[in-house]
């Protein structure tokens, strides 16, 4: 029997054929979807000495090389919320982060009344941000995106302040052979300094949507992790998600080569595409990022063409289309993707669309602006006003502007070019009745 205590318990519970006089209300129609029945353990149990979830988390920590691993049924969003709460409990007040961090980070900072010091990359959506001592002046902690949506990464340095890493797209990196695929893309637990890592297992591993990890290294206090996770997470976490996290432990423990096989298949696909003249942007081992503009179309048009050929992409924008593979993807799947790509008819190249960064001044704290009375106005009328909404497109879920920021002339023009013609602004006190 595999060392998968959650899976094993659910199988036993189903075989017992008990009368289920407990939630959930489907009465066993979905047999492995249970609640915290006797013997099932609780996700937020702070006692790590026993229980099937605690045992499974310990197995995951061992496989990843973490000091402690906590499961999340709320994706890396819940892991980020928990990590930021732990930083606040340590006295951190200002978090340095890339302007192109996922909105889950900003939402959590607003909820926790944490200030953000924005750091700006040279390229839109890039994870390549400077995290040196000069950039981090005034920050108590730093939030780092390990892999961006295009598949780029940051230059690894050791910040001398607490670190929380958004490794949503990189859980699989722990199991990648660095001798074969290089050390440009590292798993956070391979960096060699104290940190927390929030990871969406479901993005690149065979785990149900919402399954994620919060890993801790040596030197990080995780004693209140479960407590804070219960503050933000559902009091009825999904046992189906927990089962899928547990099952992956068994898959990777049986064959560590599983992820490398997928990476090899994707590497072969990239080589074949480049030989055929398909313009690719450099990306991590499980991602193919195609420069659609070089093919004479927008990323949206390219994605539509792939869709007509039977392939759905992860993300598209004006410049690129992103295909994300899994740690269990096969050669056959890569071959199918290659055929779909080769059937896309290309035209004369187009220049890349430039996305200037919005560097707006703060008019009031984000957490205040989010809950002020607001009104919707044309973008022209929003100039000089305080933004009252977090405007983002998902994917990638990266806000263009944040509540509390002043919409100046330059910001308004950038928003208009992005197709935003109306904005919610904070209402003036005298006008609240309207």
Please write the tens of the pLDDT for every residue from 57-78: 999 999 999 999 999 999 999 9
C-alpha dihedral sign at 360, 157, 220, 134: negative
Burial class (CB in 10 A: 0-12, 13-18, 19+), 281: middle
In a domain, 358, yes or no: no
- Where does a domain end: 206, 221, 254? 254
Question: Do the domain assignments include residue 162?
Answer: yes
Domain boundary among 254, 273, 304: 254
CA angle, 65 then 69 then 70, to 5°: 165
The arithmetic mean of pLDDT across residues 358-366, rounded, is 94
Residue 367 near residue 115 (C-beta atoms within 8 A): no
Please state the domain count of the chain: 3
**Full domain range(s) for residue 38:** 5-254
Q: 393 and 331 in one domain?
A: no
The torsion angles phi and psi of 187, rounded to 5 degrees, stand at: -75, 140
* pLDDT class of 433 with cuts at 50, 70, 90: very low
Please indicate, yes or no, if residue 412 is contained in any of the structural domains. Answer: yes
Given a contact cutoff of 8 angstroms between Cβ atoms, the answer to whether 145 and 127 are in contact is yes
Tokens of 280: 């690719």
Report the alpha-carbon angle 150-201-97, nearest 5.
Answer: 50
Quick check: is 361 in a domain?
A: no
Burial class (CB in 10 A: 0-12, 13-18, 19+), 181: middle
Mean pLDDT, to the nearest integer, of 358-381? 95
Q: Which two tokens stand for residue 289?
A: 């990022």
Judge whether residue 2 has pLDDT over 80: no
pLDDT at 1: 46
Mean pLDDT, all residues of the chain: 95
Q: Is 144 inside any structural domain?
A: yes
- Distance, CA of 171 to CA of 188 (rounded, Å): 9
* 90 and 47 within one domain: yes
Question: Across-strand partners of 209?
Answer: none
Would you state the structure tokens that stand for residue 250, as one six-digit string? 């068994």
CB-based burial of residue 139 (10 Å sphere; 0-12 exposed, 13-18 middle, 19+ buried)? buried
Residue 359 lies in a domain: no
Q: What is the pLDDT of residues 139-194, one digit of tens each?
A: 999 999 999 999 999 999 999 999 999 999 999 999 999 999 999 999 999 999 99
* pLDDT beyond 50 at 428: yes
d(CA 216, CA 84): 13
Q: pLDDT tens for residues 97-128?
A: 999 999 999 999 999 999 999 999 988 889 99
| CATH classification at residue 415 | 3.90.105.10
Q: Does one domain contain both 93 and 9?
A: yes
Same domain, 230 and 269: no
* CB of 283 closer than 8 Å to CB of 128: no
pLDDT of residue 391: 86
Confidence check: pLDDT of 38 > 60 = yes
What is the CATH number for 139?
Answer: 3.40.640.10
Domain-embedded: residue 210:
yes
Point out the least confidently predicted range of 5-9, 127-131, 273-277, 390-394. Answer: 390-394
Residues 230 and 281 both lie in one domain: no
Pairing of strands 115-119, 94-98: parallel
Answer yes or no: do 275 and 192 share one domain: no
Backbone CA torsion sign across 265, 269, 275, 276: positive
Query: Same domain, yes or no, for 21 and 115?
Result: yes
**Residues 93 and 168 occupy one common structural domain:** yes
112 and 237 in a common domain: yes
**DSSP for 120-166, written as a single string:** --SSTT------STTTTTT-SEEEEESB-TTS-BPPP---SS-EEEE
Identify the pLDDT of residue 434.
36
What CATH code is carried by the domain that includes residue 292? Answer: 3.90.1150.10
Q: What is the pLDDT of residue 46?
A: 83
Residues 145 and 184 in one domain: yes
Indicate if the pLDDT at residue 373 is higher than 70: yes
pLDDT recorded at residue 271: 98
Q: Does 332 share its domain with 383?
A: no
Task: Kindly state whether residues 244 and 265 are assigned to the same domain.
Answer: no
SS3 at position 46: coil
């Amino acid at each position: 029997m595999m060392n998968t205590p959650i899976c094993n318990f659910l199988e036993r519970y189903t075989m017992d054929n008990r009368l289920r006089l407990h939630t959930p209300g489907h009465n066993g129609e979905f047999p492995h979807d249970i609640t915290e029945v006797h013997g099932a353990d609780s996700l937020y149990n702070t006692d790590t000495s026993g229980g099937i979830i605690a045992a499974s988390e310990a197995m995951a920590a061992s496989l990843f090389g973490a000091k402690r691993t906590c499961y999340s049924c709320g994706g890396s969003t819940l892991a980020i919320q928990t990590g930021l709460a732990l930083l606040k409990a340590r006295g951190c007040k200002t978090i340095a982060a890339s302007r192109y961090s996922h909105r889950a980070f900003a939402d959590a900072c607003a909820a926790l009344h944490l200030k953000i010091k924005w750091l700006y990359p040279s390229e839109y959506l890039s994870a390549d941000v400077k995290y040196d001592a000069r950039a981090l002046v005034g920050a108590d902690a730093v939030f780092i995106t390990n892999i961006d949506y295009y598949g780029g990464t940051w230059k690894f340095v050791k910040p001398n302040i607490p670190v929380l890493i958004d490794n949503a797209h990189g859980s699989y990196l722990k199991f990648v052979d660095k001798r074969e695929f290089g050390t440009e893309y590292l798993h956070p637990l391979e960096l060699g300094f104290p940190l927390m890592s929030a990871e969406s297992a479901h993005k690149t591993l065979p785990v149900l949507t919402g399954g994620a990890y919060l890993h801790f290294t040596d030197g990080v206090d995780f004693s209140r992790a479960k407590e804070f996770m219960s503050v933000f997470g559902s009091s009825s976490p999904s046992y189906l998600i927990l089962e899928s996290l547990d099952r992956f432990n068994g898959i990777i423990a049986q064959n560590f080569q599983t992820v490398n096989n997928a990476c090899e298949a994707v590497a072969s696909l990239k080589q074949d595409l480049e030989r055929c003249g398909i313009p690719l942007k450099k990306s991590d081992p499980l991602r193919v990022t195609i420069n659609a503009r070089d093919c004479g179309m927008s990323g949206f048009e390219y994605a539509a063409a792939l869709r007509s050929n039977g392939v759905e992409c992860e993300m598209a924008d004006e410049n690129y289309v992103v295909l994300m593979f899994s740690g269990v993807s096969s050669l056959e799947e890569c071959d199918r993707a290659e055929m779909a790509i080769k059937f896309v008819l290309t035209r004369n190249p187009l220049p890349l669309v430039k996305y200037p960064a919005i560097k707006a001044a703060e008019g009031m704290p984000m957490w205040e602006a989010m809950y002020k009375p607001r009104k919707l106005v044309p973008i022209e009328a929003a100039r000089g006003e305080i933004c009252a909404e977090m405007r983002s497109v998902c994917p990638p879920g990266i806000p263009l502007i944040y509540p509390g920021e002043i919409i100046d002339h330059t910001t308004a023009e950038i928003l208009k070019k992005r197709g935003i013609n109306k904005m919610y602004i904070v209402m003036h006190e005298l006008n609240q009745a309207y």
